[in-house]
Each structure stands twice: as structure tokens, then as C-alpha cells.
Amino acid sequence: MSHLFPTYSKWELEPESAKGSYLYCKDGGVYLDFTSGIGVCNLGHCHPEVKESVEQQLNKFWHISNLFPIDLQEKTAEILTNASGLDLVFFANSGAEANEAAIKLARKATGKTKILTFHQSFHGRTFATMSATGQDKIKQGYGPMLDKFEYVPFNDLQALEQQLTEEVAAVMLEVVQGEGGIYVASKEFLQGVEVLCKEKGALLLIDEIQTGIGRTGKAFAFQHFGIKPDIISVAKGMANGIPTGAIVADGRLKEFFGPGSHGTTFGGNPIAMAAATKTMEIIFQPTFLEEVQTKSEWIFSLLKQKLSGNQLVKDIRGLGLMIGIELDMPVVSILEELRKEGLIVLNAGEKVIRLLPSLNTPKEDIERAIAILEKNLNIHAKLTI
Ligand SMILES: *Cc1c(COP(=O)(O)O)cnc(C)c1O
């Protein structure tokens, strides 16, 4: 009997080891992992250079507390600020904690409390981030949410214009809604949001937890759209599998996070920073990011070529290597069949297959994955005729 709370309905596979885009499981099977630990291991499993960086730090010290100056925090913060065009970093341990910091900072800096987020958004599982999330299903049974969150239809600038009054502290959004179903924001929408925020004195918070760290072919997804947020939150892919998170914010917010105003014991942990610096040094190289974009174009054209004739496939969408395939049917049983055929993928909502391959997945592995998908979906299409 398991001694774990059953908060996750676990898959039948149990990995024993992992390397690159492959999982080696206890059943002896070798599986192609197109989940990357839910958008975390963007450089693939057990990346040798990240491993070496962590090992070096393991031999120096593991944890000393945020009371000391820590070189690796400064280095990681410099990489994050250089890559984002923002100025100051606070380190957290997870996505939800990063969003908590963003929400606290926005409320304190504006002296206002109302925050607008979007339908089918996902921002985390703590009280504030669960309240920020625009999906009722994760809130059931928990009683009253944190006050002052309001939800707006995604990609609907007119609706936002109506709800975005002078009382609003911040607008918080994902450039590509991940958990909600891989919905990509339009350029007009994002640019409009930025203008409206400025007009009404609201901060623009972009949740880059799933979209950041090269996932969409830029360091951060907002950079595709020529906008500048006030705060971004980062986590998942930041240290290629070692837990960490951060917010990166505009320098004019400095005074609102002064001594004693916010904190966390583990935030900026040296082991996590060693992994984060190496991960981001590799991913933020312009040639690396260009390759992600080229690979993305190639995958989307291959997917369209192989799947768009299938009558179960309603839409193929996404940005970079964050890909959604919307079907005309629930996908849970399909995910299980795909695993039996050697391919591990995620869902996003009920009817969307979500692909989050590591950013350096070789082309032949991608071709194999798409062939497995094509074969499976063709069988289902025949069954439904
Ligand atoms: C995963 C995710 C979170 C929550 O991150 P945790 O590390 O699980 O707390 C928040 N926002 C987005 C967009 C995410 O994808």
C-alpha cells in the first residue's frame, strides 16, 4: 500500500534512470519522454554539464542561508536580468512561490489589491496562486479564496478594457496558457494589455513558469511580442530539474522589497543556483535559441503534414516547443496507449495532447514520436467512422 496522499493518479511506468530524452523503466522498457518532467528538464535528463556544475558546488557547501552574500546567486541573477531586460531578482523554490512573490510585490508597490487574471489560466496551488488561477476545478472544497482576483476571457481586449479600472494593481497572464490547453496570446492582445496597464497604473505580471527558459524559442515568451512586463515569474526549466524559482522585476520596484519584507529559507540555494547558471548559460546562447525556433517550425510543419488529414484532430497550435494537439475526444486513454507504444506525452485539459520535448531532442527522436502519434490517431479515426 502506498503511504502517499493520492493527489496524483500515477502512471503505470516506473523509471529507473533517465538520459537525454529517454526514460529507462523497471519493466525493462525504453521510453521517449516528451514531457521533460512537465517542462522542467529542457536540456534533457541528467545533462552532463549541469551535473558537473552541481557536483562542484556539492563539494563546496550545500546551504549557508540568505544572510551571507552568495556569488552564485549574483551570477544567476545577472543571467536572468541580462536575458529578460529587467533589473532585480528574488529567488523562490517553485513556480507557486515565485508567483506569490510577484503578487505580494505588486500589491505593495501599487498600494492596490485587485488583480486580473484570465479564464483557464494556471498560476499554482498555494492560496494566492490558486485564487489567481482561472479554473474552478482546483478550488473545490477549500472555502473562500483570497479576495480581489477577477477573471477575464483570454485574448479579449474589449473585456479587459471593461474590467481594468484604476483600482487594479496588476494584470497577470501566461503568454501561452499551459495547463489550460496551450492557448497562445495574440500579439494585438498582448500589446493592448501593456498599453491598458500603463494607462490605468496597473503592473503587468507575466507568468513565464512554463513558457520561459527557451521553451518557446526565446529566453522568455513575452520577447516574441515586443512588450515589456514589470515582473516575470520563472521556475520549471530554470535549473533543469533541481527545484528553484524566481521573479525578475523592474528596478523601480526595489524599495518595496526592502529588508524584512519577504523571504524564504531555501530560495537561492547554492546547489540550485549551480544548476541554474549552467542551464541558462547553455540555453540563452543565441545559436541554441535559434535552433529551437528552427526545430519548432519543422515540427509544426511535420505535425500538420502527418495529422491534419485526421478527422479527430481539430487544431495543432503552440509556440516553440510547447505544442498542443486538440482532438475531438478525451485524450487520457490515448496517453496510456502511447505509453504502451513507447512515447510519453501529457494532456492539457481534457482534449489536448501536450508535447514538451526537451529543447535539444534529436530530430530522429521527434520523427519517431510523431510516427507513433500518427499511427495511434489513425487507428482512433478509423474506429470512429
Ligand atoms: C507549473 C506552473 C505553475 C506552478 O509551479 P509549481 O512549481 O508547480 O508551483 C505556475 N504557473 C504556470 C504557468 C505553470 O505552468
C-beta neighbour count of 285 within 10 angstroms = 12
Please list the alpha-helical segments (H only) found in 59-205: 71-84, 95-110, 127-132, 157-163, 187-200
Rg (CA), the chain: 21
Q: Is the pLDDT score of 92 beyond 80?
A: yes
Residues near ligand 1 (Cβ within 6 A): 94-96, 99, 122-124, 174, 178-179, 207, 209-210, 235-236
**Rounded to whole angstroms, what are the CA distances from 214 to 101, 291, 292, 332?**
22, 10, 8, 28
Residue 226 labeled ligand binder: no
Q: Give per-residue pLDDT as tens, 111-147.
A: 999 999 999 999 999 999 999 999 999 999 999 999 9
Q: By the 8 A CB rule, do 95 and 40 touch?
A: no
Mean pLDDT of 68-78: 98
| Residue 243: partners with Cβ closer than 8 Å, 6 or more residues away | 93, 94, 272
Where do the domains of the chain lie, and which CATH numbers do they carry? 15-47+287-384 (3.90.1150.10), 48-283 (3.40.640.10)
Q: What is the pLDDT of residue 385?
A: 67
Q: Give per-residue pLDDT as tens, 308-346.
A: 999 999 999 999 999 999 999 999 999 999 999 999 999
Q: Dihedral, CA atoms, 173, 175, 176, 178, nearest 10 degrees?
A: -40
Q: How far is the CA of 94 from the centre of ligand 1 (A)?
A: 7
Q: What is the pLDDT of residue 383?
A: 85
Q: What's the pLDDT band for 194 if we cut at 50, 70, 90?
A: very high
Distance, in Å, from the CA atom of 182 to the CA atom of 323, rounded to the nearest integer, reads 7
Q: What is the pLDDT of residue 368?
A: 98
Q: By the 8 A CB rule, do 53 and 275 touch?
A: yes
Q: What is the pLDDT of residue 84?
A: 98
Buried b (16+ CB within 10 A) or exposed e, 71-101: ebbebbbebbbebbebebbbbbbbbbbbbbb
C-alpha cell of residue 373: 502519434
**Percent of the chain topping pLDDT 70:** 100
Substitution candidate for ligand 1 out of 236, 247, 347 with most atoms within 8 A of CB? 236
Q: What is the pLDDT of residue 1?
A: 86
Q: Is the pLDDT score of 384 beyond 70?
A: yes
Distance, in Å, from the CA atom of 321 to the CA atom of 217, rounded to the nearest integer, reads 7
Considering only CA atoms, which of 341, 110, 140, 321 is closest in space to residue 221?
A: 321
Residues paired with residue 234 on neighbouring β-strands, in sequence order: 246
What does the DSSP assignment read for 227-288?
---SEEEE-GGGGTTS--EEEEE-GGGGGGG-TTSS--SSTT-HHHHHHHHHHHHHHTSHHH
Q: Give per-residue pLDDT as tens, 246-285.
A: 999 999 999 999 999 999 999 999 999 999 999 999 999 9
Mean pLDDT of 203-228: 98
What does the DSSP assignment read for 325-337?
EEESS--HHHHHH
Q: What's the pLDDT band for 29 if we cut at 50, 70, 90?
A: very high
Q: How far is the CA of 6 from the centre of ligand 1 (A)?
A: 20
pTM higher than the cut 0.75: yes
Q: How far is the CA of 135 from the centre of ligand 1 (A)?
A: 14
Query: How much is the mean pLDDT over the chain?
Result: 97
